[in-house]
Amino acid sequence: MNTPPIIEFDRVSKVYQSGGGPVTALLDVSLSIAAGEFIALIGPSGCGKSTLMRLIGDLEQPSSGTVRVKGKTPEQARLDRDYGIVFQAPVLYEWRTVRRNVELPLEIMGRPPAERRERAMSLLRLVGLGDFGDAYPHQLSGGMQQRAAIARALSFEPSILLMDEPFGALDEITRERMQTELLSLWSSAAPRPTVIFVTHSIPEAVFLADRVVVMSPRPGRVQRIVPIDLPRPRVFETRESPGFFSLVTEVREALRATENERVEV
């Protein structure tokens, strides 16, 4: 990698104060992410993967160590609107139509109405919701709502996309289709955004990512980084290829190692 990393963690720790004393969510995490990379963060509950993502977005602050986003502090990156975010729940505002939900960030950023309308409609067409711009969120299925949320995150063309278990609430069939769609959205964007994708699902992480960051819990640490060298574009058949299976196994074993370690401790 010749280009400087777009996101860099340098010995980052995060400690929460709770009723039962301090809880270490992240311990001494160092990690570099290159521009345009698709990174999956995976690990059991309590491994700090969501915390790691939120540190990038300046939605939480580290207790020690430094996080740099595009060479800036996460706060500056947030103020510069360098990232879009997608949560597990679609978090669409129910009083806005689907189109106006997608327009929301553009509206806050003061873009002219005609431009944001056009941008929202072209994104909705891209995610297959071209006919639903005037519908209200409650009229859409869960998968469609999450598509609208992705369109909203991409509306202002951020260079970083933070995704916190975005498909976690969807059924398996919808989920696999959404994975393929996300990849085609990602690869068709120029330049490709850097994606940080938090997930509980091993096949999902392997199918999507360039690198899978396996994390261990209590305290949250980076256990291993598994490079995924599967060819792109990844398609339906990718999931049935031997390479896919062996990588799934590799990630699964890395995850199991985190558990064994805990038992020994």
Partner 1 sequence: MSAPLQATTVAPQASRAVRKGLSARDLWPPLLTFALVIGLWELAVRFLQIPIYLLPAPSQILETFLARPAFLLRIGLVTFTNAVVGCAIGASLGCLVAALCVRWRVVADGLVPLAVAASAVPIIALSPLMGIWLGSVSPLSKIAVVAVMTFFPTLVSVYRGLVSPTADALMLMRSYAAPQRVVFAKLRAPAALPFLFGALRVCATLSMIGAVVAEFFGGPQNALGVYIKTQAGILRTREAWSAILVACLFGLAFYLAVVLAERAAMPWKRGRQQ
Regarding 45 and contact with partner 1 (CB under 8 A), the answer is no
Taking the complex as a whole, how short is the minimal distance between the CB of residue 214 and partner 1, in angstroms? 26
Token pair for residue 203? 């096949």
Q: Binding to partner 1 by residue 122, rule CB under 8 A?
A: no
Within 10 Å of residue 2's Cβ, how many Cβ atoms? 4
Q: Does residue number 132 form part of the binding site for partner 1 (CB under 8 A)? A: yes
Q: How far is the CB of 219 from partner 1 (least distance, A)?
A: 23
Which of residues 65 and 128 has its CB atom nearest to partner 1 in the complex? 128
Number of residues binding to partner 1, judged by CB under 8 A = 46
Nearer to partner 1 by Cβ, of 94 and 240: the residue is 94
Report the distance separating Cα 66 and Cα 9, nearest Å: 6
CA–CA gap between residue 118 and residue 240 (Å, rounded)? 39
Among 5, 7, 67, 87, binds partner 1 (CB under 8 A): 87
Please, which residue, 38 or 83, has the CB nearer to partner 1?
83
Q: Is 95 in the site for partner 1 (CB under 8 A)?
A: yes
Asked whether position 74 contacts partner 1 by CB under 8 A, the answer is no
The least distance separating partner 1 from the CB of residue 77, rounded to whole angstroms, comes to 10
- 179, 207 in Cβ contact below 8 A? yes
Q: Closest Cα to residue 40, out of 233, 247, 259? A: 247
Residue 139 in contact with partner 1, rule: CB under 8 A: yes
Six-digit token string for 87: 């949560």
Supply the minimum distance, in Å, between the C-beta of residue 226 and partner 1.
27
Instruction: Take residue 163 and report the two structure tokens written for it.
Output: 């995704």
**Which position among 107, 169, 192, 218 is part of the footprint of partner 1 (CB under 8 A)?**
107
Which residues contact residue 108 at a Cβ distance below 8 angstroms, ignoring those fewer than 6 apart? Answer: none
Considering only residues 191 through 250, tell me which ones interact with partner 1, judged by CB under 8 A.
233
What torsion do the CA atoms of 65, 41, 192, 177 make, to the nearest 10 degrees? -160
Q: Are 16 and 51 in contact (CB under 8 A)?
A: no
Stretch that binds partner 1, among 18-26, 102-110, 114-122, 251-259 (CB under 8 A): 102-110
To the nearest 10 degrees (0 to 180), the angle between helices 98-108 and 142-154 is 20
